[in-house]
Chains A and B, each alone.
Chain A
Amino acid sequence: MSYAYLFKYIIIGDTGVGKSCLLLQFTDKRFQPVHDLTIGVEFGARMITIDSKQIKLQIWDTAGQEAFRSITRSYYRGAAGALLVYDITRRETFNHLTTWLDDARQHSNSNMVIMLIGNKSDLESRREVKKEEGEAFAREHGLVFMETSAKTAANVEEAFINTAKEIYEKIQEGVFDINNEANGIKIGPQHSPTNPSLPGAGGSGGSQGSGCC
């Protein structure tokens, strides 16, 4: 499947905030759990369209590897975007954001786009973290913020796609060195690095992908 760019994402945050569910929800929309089914996955890829260019998103969940410093370090460095996820029904996951963010900032390349996600927005009755708090944290640290629900799929598309849009804009501005694959961005096989404005192969229209995996 040809693409103009490939963006690598990582998902970070405390355990149990629904990282792998978000990932699966985005890459494989069919898993909309009608029943009480928690299901997630550690890796997924999906094609989206931005500015009529095919962009492939590769998302790597880092769960379970926190014990090894070398692993987290490398993950951060190899990603162009990061979704920093907390659970709106568990205050402590919000309180740990600073630690996650410090880690991310220390290890990642400075251009990495970080999106703050308050997950489980469907559980309004058990909410412990106000939306305003998330917004304030994001504003203070220069992040984009969104509340999502991996269960109802609310805002999941938007979270991943908006992050991609921001990375894309940074590429257009020339902030990202796209020839350096270590930044988590790869140019598609047929796209010459000297002409990044080459129209995407797919061009299926619309700013959002037509949902493929």
Chain B
Amino acid sequence: MFRSRSWFGGGWGRPKNPHSLEHLKYLYNVLSRNQTVSEHNRGLLVETLRSIAEILIWGDQNDSSVFDFFLEKNMLSFFLKIMRQRSGGSSFVCVQLLQTLNILFENIRNETSLYYLLSNNHVNSIIVHKFDFSDEEVMAYYISFLKTLSLKLNAHTIHFFYNEHTNDFPLYTEAIKFFNHPESMVRIAVRTLTLNVYKVEDASMLAFIRDRTAAPYFSNIVWFIGKHIMELDACVRNDADHQSHNRLSDLVAEHLDHLHYLNDILCLNITDLNHVLTDHLLHKLLIPLYICSLAASTSAAQTTRRRTTDAVAKMLAQHSATPDGSPKMETGNGKVSCVVALFLLSQVFLIISHSPLVQTLAWIVLKTDRSIFEKGVDKLLQYYENDVKRRESSTTEDSATPNTDIDSKSSTESISELRSNVTDEEKQRLATETPSTGEHPFLDAVYGALDCAENDYVALFALSLFYAMANNKGVTADVIEQVLRPKKTFTPKTPSQKDVKYTYNVHLVDKLLNIAACSCQPSCRVRLVTLELALKLFVQLVTCDGKNILLDGHAALIDAAKTQSTALLRNFYKSEEIFLDMFEHEYCDMSKGSLNVEWLCMDSAILLPPTGTPMTGIDFTKRLPCGEVERAKRAIRVFFLVRNAVLTLNGELETQLPLTNPQSCVQIDQALDLNNSDLIACTVTWKDGTKMRRFLVIDVLQLILVEPDTKRLGWGVAKLVGFLQDIEVTGDKDDSRCLHITIHRPISGATANRVPLLNAKFVFDDNIRCMAAKQRLSKGRLKARQKKMQHIARLLDIPGQSGPPSPAFVGSGLYASRNPGRGLRETRPLFCPNKVPGFAAPRRESSPGIIHRADPAKHARDGVSPNRLANLKKEERDKSRSRDSSSSRAKSREGSPRMPRPRSEEIPLELIKKASNSCLDMAPKISIVPRPQTPKIEVASTSGGPTTSSQSQAETAKELAVSEETSFIADELRGASKKKGLIETI
């Protein structure tokens, strides 16, 4: 505004050096000559104040005499004089003045200087000065000034701000007046300041806060939160059509801000403050508004409601007697809807972990029975307190049965018991549930919300609440045990052995499994997120001591859900390319991490009734599917979720997914033994014109561009690796030696936009090589995809795909089945080529001239990436002996290792493969020297199938031998250490 330097132009004897004592003296003169602010001098004053800030900081860091002069002349008093004037343009000067003070307090390093600045009480006078707060700019600078000061608070400086004798603390009391300022940054600054104040451990100051300000300030907060959630509730009620999503999301975010703020205060662990705050929250907000809204809809609560309201009113009357006449909470006006109440309570349990608060809340929700409830709200707390006392006394009196009185209270809880003997792990069903009756109004309301008959709108919140409660660190085990956590009791049977009895909440598990079963129906109204959360909670509920304590009936139900989810997905299994990509994408997306419930409850979108349309901008998992593609997507997810839950319950690891095992893939900069591999020389031209000479190697799953290894002849270093399934190849109309190849990045789920890994022109030596490359690439792509589709088919138990379940997934699970295979080697029958759809043999008919690609044995090896090579030997031998179709090639390999142009119709570039130095029939075509990692061989065998005996594997293997998927079974243990590093080209 007043940057013009001409103010300094008139030679008032201004010293040349702006950083000197002389300059400050000059500025002092300017100030003393311009004590009245006017239109004419305000620019000069602003410039002067600005300079003062600069020179003082310079002085603080370089020359103490500068600061002495400032204090000696009492220059802060000039500041006060200036700001007290109400003349035209004074707000401009005020802004600069506040900024100068900000700079001063922010940058001063010398503690003594700081103390001097604070010592004469001018700062407090500035704090209490009534600025023109309607000016947005003044407000912002003022609140920043207060915030800056609060950052300087410590055990020493606090005494400059808090005056024990006058019981005065303007910094704090002035700031909290702006607690509810419409400007969000101002509100944040106030909160920051209060937290900075509480953080200072000064007993008398904290006593002042508690006695003089806590009641009004906290009840203000509580009142505003209450008012706020009434708005939120109205917004939800009136917006079935998702019209005011922005407003709703603001309201939710604001509520979260409040809760986080309260939590930050509680986390400072100031006993007195926490007590007052907890008290306010429980009495005025959480119990009357949040919890009581849960049961408000039940008919039995009608009468209670009036009583509750009365009780609240009475309570409020008592509280309004507190100093400063705190505003009254309007809970009497009504309740919020059950949806909102569940949502808000979930947030409370997710964010706040202050034990006295959450413990009380959890107890009231879970344990309150009808009789207490009907006595009114204020009795709830009383009963809780009595219960605590009783428990304390009972534990001291009778430590042998610590939980008896809780048990008696919750005896109406549905309980099923499982007794397992520690010594022999035998499980026995002992008791069955008693049906839950309406004895616990709040808990029953939450149970009731889990009903997904119509949709899962409320169920999602009920699940979040249960989950949040069960995982809150402030809630002790005895409150949630049996309801939300499995319960373990020891009953001594004989002196030598003890019975361990596991029980869990059968009623709740019933409900959860019902949600799971619902989700697996084709046209259900359960969203993915609800299913995921239900399964998450379910696993928690029935897992104790690292194993599941599931009753047989429930185990059957979850298995049925798994079967059902598989059947559901089978409907969508199709040979369309997009299915494979979707499948992999969804898996990738899901494996990025399981559901974060806290983040879920930050999303206001779930507060509105579930919808299907993506046009709302709601996440896919948080809405219903729209259209066939999304239904397929959903079915894939349901399949993964249920599968994962079952695996977790059984303590198993996933061995069949992902479809590609990264361990088995060639990595960039890996050195590969390419002796006897098919190499196609080419020049790769990138879009930017750079050219590189490379050799193209086509592996089973991957396309590899190598450059010769300078260290070893015949070896190459991988410079670019892409998955065959992700390539696009087009010829060049003008140049028959050219191919345009695009390799997309593998699906990662992370980025929405898959920038191609490579998009370049490949120039080959002649058109034959070019044609060969093209055919092999497109075949390779097709095969890689077929391979994966077959794997999915096996996962889905689709009959006719590959018969018995095969371990031939493209991943690490192979290790397990591989080992016993050695013994089978000699007895293994020959291939049975045309069994698998998409298998190479039929292709050959349609596209002659690519015999080298139509090799069933290799096809089968596709799935065996980590150890393909080792398997090869046997296959090649079999093939050469018994298969006419491949005999010529096999012979040529064995007979003429270096023959550049094989005869017959084979593509010339299908180079001869023969083991030159190997004692085996057929040597690896490429050996990868695994540089960074050591080969992972036997580790996987446990994860692969711990329960499979070698015999059953042998049987499986025999079966498999019928199909051509088997080659890898005939594995050689002695080659094991090499296997990892070996690959073979197609």
Cα-based distance from A45 to B141 in the complex (angstroms)? 9
Cα-based distance from A177 to B58 in the complex (angstroms)? 44
Cα-based distance from A211 to B250 in the complex (angstroms)? 34
**A71 contact from B18, B103, B188, B599, Cβ within 8 A:** B188
Q: Are A35 and B19 in contact (CB under 8 A)?
A: yes
List chain B residues, Cβ under 8 A from A77: 184, 253, 257
Q: Are B58 and A70 in contact (CB under 8 A)?
A: no
Residue of A nearest to B250 (CB): A182
Supposing A71-B188, A75-B188 touch, asked if A182 and B253 sit within 8 A by C-beta, the answer is: yes
Q: Are B261 and A39 in contact (CB under 8 A)?
A: no
Residue of B nearest to A179 (CB): B246
**B188 contact from A31, A74, A180, Cβ within 8 A:** A74
- Judged by a CB distance under 8 angstroms, whether B147 is at the interface is yes
**A73 contact from B53, B61, B103, B256, Cβ within 8 A:** B256
Supposing A182-B250, A212-B3, A213-B1 touch, asked if A42 and B195 sit within 8 A by C-beta, the answer is: no
List chain B residues, Cβ under 8 A from A106: 599
Residue of B nearest to A47 (CB): B1
Name A152-180 residues within 8 Å CB distance of B.
177, 180
Which of A60-68, A86-94, A119-127, A130-138 lines the interface with chain B?
A: A60-68
Residue of A nearest to B258 (CB): A70
- Judged by a CB distance under 8 angstroms, whether B75 is at the interface is no
Supposing A42-B106, A70-B191, A70-B264 touch, asked if A37 and B61 sit within 8 A by C-beta, the answer is: yes
Cα-based distance from A30 to B100 in the complex (angstroms)? 13
List chain A residues, Cβ under 8 A from B253: 77, 182
Name A66-104 residues within 8 Å CB distance of B.
68-71, 73-75, 77-78
Q: Are B137 and A1 in contact (CB under 8 A)?
A: yes
- Judged by a CB distance under 8 angstroms, whether A41 is at the interface is yes
**A39 contact from B54, B184, B264, Cβ within 8 A:** B54
Smallest Cβ distance from B750 to chain A, in angstroms? Answer: 11
Cα-based distance from A139 to B269 in the complex (angstroms)? 43
Smallest Cβ distance from B308 to chain A, in angstroms? Answer: 31
Query: Beta-carbon contacts of B255-267 to A below 8 Å, as 1s and 0s?
Result: 0110011011000
Smallest Cβ distance from A211 to chain B, in angstroms? Answer: 5
Residue of B nearest to A140 (CB): B751
Cα-based distance from A39 to B140 in the complex (angstroms)? 20
Name B375-423 residues within 8 Å CB distance of A.
none
Query: Beta-carbon contacts of A174-212 to B below 8 Å, as 1s and 0s?
Result: 000100111000000000000000000000000000011
- Judged by a CB distance under 8 angstroms, whether B240 is at the interface is no
Cα-based distance from A69 to B598 in the complex (angstroms)? 14
Cα-based distance from A23 to B393 in the complex (angstroms)? 61
Q: Are B99 and A180 in contact (CB under 8 A)?
A: no
Q: Are A39 and B3 in contact (CB under 8 A)?
A: no
List chain B residues, Cβ under 8 A from A212: 1-3
Cα-based distance from A70 to B191 in the complex (angstroms)? 9
Q: Are B106 and A41 in contact (CB under 8 A)?
A: yes
Cα-based distance from A70 to B2 in the complex (angstroms)? 37
List chain B residues, Cβ under 8 A from A28: 50, 99
- Judged by a CB distance under 8 angstroms, whether A20 is at the interface is yes
Cα-based distance from A36 to B141 in the complex (angstroms)? 27
Supposing A74-B188, A211-B3 touch, asked if A45 and B195 sit within 8 A by C-beta, the answer is: no
Cα-based distance from A37 to B55 in the complex (angstroms)? 10
- Judged by a CB distance under 8 angstroms, whether B192 is at the interface is yes
Residue of A nearest to B137 (CB): A45
Q: Are A180 and B250 in contact (CB under 8 A)?
A: yes
Q: Are A70 and B263 in contact (CB under 8 A)?
A: yes
List chain A residues, Cβ under 8 A from B260: 69-70, 73
- Judged by a CB distance under 8 angstroms, whether B107 is at the interface is yes
Q: Are A30 and B50 in contact (CB under 8 A)?
A: yes
List chain A residues, Cβ under 8 A from B191: 68, 70-71, 74
List chain B residues, Cβ under 8 A from A70: 191, 257, 260-261, 263-264
Residue of A nearest to B98 (CB): A43
Query: Beta-carbon contacts of B174-201 to A below 8 Å, as 1s and 0s?
Result: 0000000000110110011001000000
Name B128-147 residues within 8 Å CB distance of A.
137, 140-141, 144, 147
List chain A residues, Cβ under 8 A from B62: 35
Cα-based distance from A42 to B58 in the complex (angstroms)? 18
Q: Are B3 and A65 in contact (CB under 8 A)?
A: no
Q: Are B3 and A40 in contact (CB under 8 A)?
A: no
- Judged by a CB distance under 8 angstroms, whether A146 is at the interface is no
Q: Are B147 and A42 in contact (CB under 8 A)?
A: yes
- Judged by a CB distance under 8 angstroms, whether A52 is at the interface is no
Q: Are B195 and A68 in contact (CB under 8 A)?
A: yes
Smallest Cβ distance from B672 to chain A, in angstroms? Answer: 28
List chain A residues, Cβ under 8 A from B106: 20, 40-42
List chain B residues, Cβ under 8 A from A42: 102, 106, 144, 147-148
Cα-based distance from A181 to B247 in the complex (angstroms)? 11
List chain B residues, Cβ under 8 A from A78: 184-185, 188
- Judged by a CB distance under 8 angstroms, whether B234 is at the interface is no
Q: Are B185 and A213 in contact (CB under 8 A)?
A: no
Q: Are B54 and A41 in contact (CB under 8 A)?
A: no
- Judged by a CB distance under 8 angstroms, whether B57 is at the interface is yes
Q: Are A41 and B185 in contact (CB under 8 A)?
A: no
Smallest Cβ distance from B980 to chain A, in angstroms? Answer: 31
Residue of A nearest to B57 (CB): A39
Residue of B nearest to A35 (CB): B19
Smallest Cβ distance from B638 to chain A, in angstroms? Answer: 27
Smallest Cβ distance from B214 to chain A, in angstroms? Answer: 18
Residue of A nearest to B184 (CB): A78
Cα-based distance from A29 to B57 in the complex (angstroms)? 16
Name B1-58 residues within 8 Å CB distance of A.
1-3, 18-19, 50-51, 53-54, 57-58
Cα-based distance from A31 to B47 in the complex (angstroms)? 12
- Judged by a CB distance under 8 angstroms, whether B270 is at the interface is no
- Judged by a CB distance under 8 angstroms, whether B151 is at the interface is yes
Cα-based distance from A123 to B872 in the complex (angstroms)? 60
Q: Are A40 and B107 in contact (CB under 8 A)?
A: yes
List chain B residues, Cβ under 8 A from A44: 99
List chain B residues, Cβ under 8 A from A24: 103
Cα-based distance from A60 to B96 in the complex (angstroms)? 16
Q: Are A41 and B261 in contact (CB under 8 A)?
A: no
Residue with the highest number of chain B CB atoms closer than 10 Å, among A60, A70, A211, A212: A70
Q: Are B192 and A30 in contact (CB under 8 A)?
A: no
**B185 contact from A1, A58, A65, Cβ within 8 A:** A58
List chain B residues, Cβ under 8 A from A60: 144, 185
**B184 contact from A1, A20, A181, Cβ within 8 A:** A181
List chain A residues, Cβ under 8 A from B261: 70
Q: Are A180 and B246 in contact (CB under 8 A)?
A: yes
Supposing A181-B184, A182-B253 touch, asked if A41 and B103 sit within 8 A by C-beta, the answer is: yes
Residue of A nearest to B254 (CB): A182
Q: Are B57 and A37 in contact (CB under 8 A)?
A: yes
Supposing A41-B102, A41-B103, A180-B246 touch, asked if A71 and B57 sit within 8 A by C-beta, the answer is: no
Smallest Cβ distance from A76 to chain B, in angstroms? Answer: 10
Residue of A nearest to B599 (CB): A106
Q: Are A29 and B257 in contact (CB under 8 A)?
A: no
Q: Are A68 and B58 in contact (CB under 8 A)?
A: no
**A8 contact from B3, B103, B185, B247, Cβ within 8 A:** B185
Supposing A8-B185, A58-B185 touch, asked if A31 and B54 sit within 8 A by C-beta, the answer is: yes
List chain A residues, Cβ under 8 A from B185: 8, 58, 60, 75, 78
CB-defined A-B contacts under 8 Å, sample of 11:
A35-B19, A39-B103, A42-B102, A65-B192, A68-B191, A70-B263, A71-B195, A73-B256, A74-B257, A78-B184, A182-B250
- B residues neighboring A (CB under 8 Å): 1-3, 18-19, 50-51, 53-54, 57-58, 61-62, 96, 99, 102-103, 106-107, 137, 140-141, 144, 147-148, 151, 184-185, 187-188, 191-192, 195, 246-247, 250, 253, 256-257, 260-261, 263-264, 599
Further contacts, 16 of them, CB under 8 A, given A37-B57, A71-B188: A8-B185, A30-B50, A31-B54, A37-B58, A38-B107, A42-B147, A42-B148, A60-B144, A70-B260, A70-B263, A71-B192, A71-B195, A71-B264, A177-B246, A180-B250, A213-B1
| Top 9 A-B residue pairs of the complex, sorted by shortest distance between their CB atoms | A70-B260, A43-B144, A70-B261, A78-B184, A212-B1, A74-B188, A68-B264, A70-B264, A182-B250
